[in-house]
Structure 1
Amino acid sequence: MIDAGSDLEVPRRGDDAGWRVLGTLLRAGVTFHSTCCDGPGWRPRTMAQVRERLAAAERTGVPVAEALTTVDVDEIGRGSGPRAALSGG
C-alpha cells in the first residue's frame, strides 16, 4: 500500500494511459501531498511527458522523481529543482 497523498486525482476506470502514468509516478516515489494551499505541484499527465522526463533523467543523472516533477523538461539537470519553471528560476 502506498500513501499517495490527499491531492491525488485518480484516473477514470477506462483510462489505461492515465493509470500507467500514475503507476510510474508512484513507483518512482512521487506523491500528491499538498505543500500548503497550492497542491502538490506539477505532475505529468501523459505517457509522452513521462517518457521525455525519464529520458532526461537518464541523460543527466537527475533522480527520476525529480525529473518527473519538473515542468520544463529543458530544466532537468540544470540544478534548478523541480519547481523552478513554476517560480521562474
Structure 2
Amino acid sequence: MPPAKHHFVCLPCRASFKQPGPGPYDRDRVCPRCARELIHVGQAFAAPRRRDDRAWRVLTVLLNAGVRFPMGCSDGPGYRPRTLGEVRERMAHARATGEPLAQALVREELPD
C-alpha cells in the first residue's frame, strides 16, 4: 500500500493540494498558481469551499498560530474551531490565562 498523501494549503489562492509527505531532502513546496510557499497542514485536513470567506479566515488564524491537522490513531486531528466566534472566545481565553494560542485554539471546551 502506498504511503498516505499529505495536504498542503496556499492561503492567498484558497487552494489545497495533496502531495506525498515531506521527506528529509524535500525543498519548500510552492503553489502552482501564485508560486508562494505552501503550508503543510497534515493528513486529516478537509479544505473549505473556496467561496467560504469565514471558513478561510478561521483556517488562516489556525495555521498562523501553528495548529495543524495530523492523523490520529483512530479519531483524526481532534477538535478545531469552525467559526470566528469560537476562535475569538479561545483567543480571549489565551490572553486572559497566558495559555499559548495554539493550545487554546484546540481546546474542545473552555474552563469556566
Q: TM-score, normalised by structure 2?
A: 0.64
Structure 1 runs of 4+ with >4 Å offset = none
- Structure 2 unaligned runs (5+)? 1-37
Task: Tell me, in whole angstroms, the C-alpha distance in 1 between the residues paired with 2:87 and 2:110.
Answer: 10
**Partner secondary structure for residue 74 of structure 1:** coil
CA distance in 2, matches of 1:37, 1:59: 33
Question: In the aligned structure 2, how far is the partner of 1:36 from the partner of 1:25?
Answer: 22
Q: Percent identity?
A: 51
Of 54, 71, 74, the match for 1:17? 54
Q: Which has the larger radius of gyration?
A: 2
Give the aligned CA root-mean-square deviation in angstroms: 1.0
Structure 1 residues not aligned, in runs of 5+:
76-89
| Higher RCO structure (Cα 8 Å, ≥6 apart) | 1
- Calculate the TM-score normalised by the size of structure 1: 0.80
Structure number with higher strand proportion: 2
1:82: which partner in 2?
none
Q: Quote the offset at 1:8 in angstroms.
A: 0.8
Query: Match of 2:72, SS?
Result: coil
